[in-house]
Amino acid sequence: MKGTRSVVMFLIVCIGVLSSCKNKNPKETIASSKVKKPNIVFVLADQWRAHATGYNGDPNLIGKTPNLDQLAAQGVNFKNAISVTPVCTPFRAAFLTGKYPTTTGMIFNDLHLPEESVTLAELFKDSGYKTGYIGKWHLDGMGRFDYTPPERRQGFDYWKALECSHDYNNLIYYEGNDSEKKKWEGYGPYAETQDAISYIQKNAGNEEPFLMVLAWGAPHFPHATAPKEFQEQFNEEDIILRGNVADDMREVAKKEAVGYYAHILALDKCIGDLEKAIEAAGITENTIIVFTSDHGEMLGSHSIRPKQKQVPWAESVRIPFLLKYPALFGNKKIEVEAPINAPDILPTLLTLADLPVPEFVDGESMVDAITKPELKKDKATLVMNVSPFAGKSDEYRGVYTSRYAYVKTLDGPLFLFDNKKDTLQLDNLVNKPGYEELQEEMEVVLQRELTNIGDEFKPRQYYIDKWNYNLNSSGYIDYGKDSKPQGPSLNK
């Protein structure tokens, strides 16, 4: 199957190159074929919401995330980045394939991404890139602590990863072709970052460019395991919660926020270490750095307890997204209002590297939104949860634009917010006098976006039956030692 796919992918790349040559003005080339393609360092956090950064104005973090603040000041800040489904596995599959969860079948955690999937790593590898993955994977579906062999790594050659663990001070991993468990020393994200730095140092001088993904498990809970030196910088009583946190959530939210923010400070340090390593290697100009997260964290907002995501409110679906590429954009601050979503990442990176975007990709390149913001100013992007687990949410579909958020369940519209005027999403405009036309317009936009990806928004059981999934009583895929692996290609 993999051999056949390689031939197909080779033809896709060839056809794409030929077609792009027909239409492209050489003066408008993103990354000239006469020079080395850009290296890509893609940093993926887990459960880091967009609000929780100094540069985005979180009062608990102002002045405390200097490295991210500098990255935002010298690069592109997608201010309205969205997690298509604010859960780990669906986001990661969408990021790697450029497709929506309803297209791939990767609709909840612990599913197996089919080997025949065409991924970001394989497309770049077929174009001469070296590829590496370090950290949390969560796409194999064969057990959270089990070994992922090379044929299931979706095109990543260098490998120091584990399916899923958040035991940050006892974090295990597998290296290369060795099926024996190893353990990161100390705080896992620090050790993973140092390995990423070693990878950069080793590959910086090569003729071939590299694509490396560094995927931390933090700041996902447990929060109390964050480095003590950073926990000591916060006091529970001094934590400033968002204005949409209910009184009965405030105590637990403040307690969890201390560790949550401490993880963030530790990861900000890691960002600084990465940037220093890139500079020391002499590859700053021609290296694309991306920082983002798979989804957000509610932390008590809208009466939803800390440690939760998967719901459609902004704290859950909005994520940070910074991109720096000095050779193309210089070192200036650029803020993009148009939303970018998980399926847009693959085509955006391909475009920046001057590589063709395959037709099967659902997402769209957002490079135009950086260079010509007016071209994407009215873009709407989908949010969805096909089958929420543990009864924490109803299934939903919705759209976010640079200004509005409109979401509906199978029972009808859930909310309509003007995010410019109502940053806390407290004033629901659904069925409110004076907003009937806006609600109708947003419904039309939602239906258009669903039609574009062929999703009719049916009850969750339709999708479970479509891919023959078997869920436990809590709505989860079982991932224990004796569980049967499941995935779109495994349950046929």
pLDDT of 24 reads 38
- Distance between CA 441 and CA 431 in Å, rounded? 13
pLDDT of 14 reads 46
Residue 11: count other Cβ atoms within 10 Å of its Cβ: 10
Q: Could you tell me if 387 and 463 are in contact, meaning their C-beta atoms sit under 8 angstroms apart?
A: yes
142 pLDDT tier (thresholds 50, 70, 90): confident
Full domain range(s) for residue 299: 39-376
pLDDT of 26 reads 29
Q: What is the mean pLDDT of the chain?
A: 92
pLDDT of 22 reads 33
CATH number for position 218: 3.40.720.10
Q: Which helix (H) or strand (E) holds 21?
A: helix 2-23
Q: Is 71 contained in some domain?
A: yes
Q: Is 413 contained in some domain?
A: no
Q: Is 402 contained in some domain?
A: no
pLDDT of 1 reads 44
Q: Is 408 contained in some domain?
A: no
Q: What digits encode the pLDDT tens for the residues 227-262?
A: 999 999 999 999 999 999 999 999 999 999 999 999
% pLDDT > 90, the chain: 84
For 289, residues 6+ apart whose C-beta sits below 8 A from its C-beta are: 41, 43, 71, 75, 274, 275, 278, 322, 323, 324, 325
**Does the pLDDT of residue 481 top 70, yes or no?**
no
Hey, which residues does 175 pair with through a beta bridge? 160
Q: What digits encode the pLDDT tens for the residues 277-291?
A: 999 999 999 999 999
Residue 47: count other Cβ atoms within 10 Å of its Cβ: 28
Q: Which helix (H) or strand (E) holds 2?
A: helix 2-23
Burial class, 218, CB count within 10 angstroms (exposed 0-12 / middle 13-18 / buried 19+): buried
Q: Is 19 contained in some domain?
A: no
Report the domain count for the chain. 1
Catalytic residue list? 88, 138
Name which of 204, 198, 270, 258 is nearest 233 in CA terms: 258
Give the β-pairing of 321-324 and 287-293. Answer: antiparallel
pLDDT of 479 reads 80
Q: Is 405 contained in some domain?
A: no
Q: What digits encode the pLDDT tens for the residues 18-58?
A: 444 333 332 234 444 457 899 999 999 999 999 999 999 99
- Distance between CA 70 and CA 262 in Å, rounded? 19
| Angle in degrees, CA 220, 104, 485, rounded to 5 | 70
Complete DSSP assignment for 403-467: SEEEEEETTEEEEEEETTT-TT-----TT-TT-HHHHHHHHHHHHHHHHHTT-----HHHHHHHT
477 pLDDT tier (thresholds 50, 70, 90): confident
Q: Is 91 contained in some domain?
A: yes
Q: Is 10 contained in some domain?
A: no
pLDDT of 489 reads 84
Mean pLDDT of 474-482: 78
**Does the pLDDT of residue 391 top 70, yes or no?**
no
